[in-house]
Amino acid sequence: MKITRINLYQYDIPLKAPIAISLGTIENARNILVEIQTDESITGWGEGSPFWMIVGETQASGLAAADDMARLLIGHDPLDIEGCLTTLIRYLPGHPTTRSAFDMALYDIAAKSARMPLYQFLGGSKRSLVTDETIYINTPERMVDDALRIQEKGAEAIKVKLGTNLRSDIERVAAIRNAIGDATPIRTDANQGWDVVTASAVLRAIGSWNVQYCEQPIKRHDIAGLRQIRQSSTVPIMADESLFDSTDAIRLVREEAVDYFNIKLSKSGGIFDALKINAIAEAAGIPCMIGCMSESRLALTAKAHFASARQNVRFYDLDACFEHANDPVYGGITYTGYQIDLPETPGIGAEVDSTFLKTLPIKTIS
């Protein structure tokens, strides 16, 4: 099998409202869509969501890099996933989000060629997955309204974005906990917004409020600080921005810096290295979460396949499409409340609607 044609799409999806985290605010999902066609009429689809404030990529820089990446892959065997990805990395180190879109499309082709759903191709089985839903930074009153709405929908856990300042963040969590009661776990995420002293103080204040974990309390490079916070906190610590690839995973394990890993395909460069990260975590006794940026149900479906195939993935944060003003994907995962159901069709089992595709800027490499 040979790659004959690659289409690159500027995959813009409007949001219902702007979403704010400690690192910045986004108003639209400005993603990258990759379609890889082969000489055996098998097509693979992949999506990347470049959060510039986290991965250092924008849609524009990603599409420029994707043009070069696509030219490198024309004529290659798409079933040689490692060979294709090695070619991309050697030519253009970095750009994990853009590379993840190609990685996803290659795995889609491979699983379709094997006539297996992706989770089965990855050696796993179909498991029950339940996502949380995220509350973004706002006033305590608005965040309480969101928490009550999410609880009413039957959420098993609520994720709360923090990372502004000590008093305001404690007030936010206190208001939400008082409103929803004690039973529903709260998952917090500071997105690097605190320093060690502030993080320790916040976590000490909220530690008895059924807080399941705290993601990335401090700057990504401060591994010693993460270890210090972990040692003093009753709230488990999860690495997000400190964990891009398998090299980061080894360092975090060696330093005993965190309790959990958050794996995101847009950070890891795709499924290929995500499998390595999870293997390292599993060997070290560190459970993982599968997380998201602002992907559509296309990439979220690939993430769900990955999570289903690896039992060490214990937490699921696959709610990005809840914020999208429209859904351009057919097939893919479906949600019953917060329960996720995977498709049984070969490959990822999701594609972008052809009518929506016609509205997108496209570049073709053949």
Check 112, 264, 267, 303 and give the catalytic one: 264
Q: How far apart are alpha carbons 363 and 63 in whole angstroms?
A: 9
Q: How far apart are alpha carbons 77 and 240 in whole angstroms?
A: 33
The token duo for 357 is 């595709």
The token duo for 197 is 């002293």
Q: Which residues are annotated as a binding site?
A: 189, 215, 240
Q: How far apart are alpha carbons 262 and 243 in whole angstroms?
A: 7
For this structure, is 264 an active site residue?
A: yes
Residues 6+ apart with CB under 8 A from 64: none
Total residues belonging to the chain: 366
Q: Which residues are annotated as a binding site for Mg(2+)?
A: 189, 215, 240
Q: How far apart are alpha carbons 211 and 188 in whole angstroms?
A: 7
Check 161, 276, 303, 358 and give the catalytic one: 161
DSSP states along 109-178: HHHHHTTSBHHHHTT-----EE--EEE-S--HHHHHHHHHHHHHTT-S-EEEE--S-HHHHHHHHHHHHH
For this structure, is 363 an active site residue?
A: no
Number of Cβ atoms within 10 Å of the Cβ of 24: 12
DSSP SS3 for 227:
helix
Please identify every residue annotated as catalytic: 161, 264
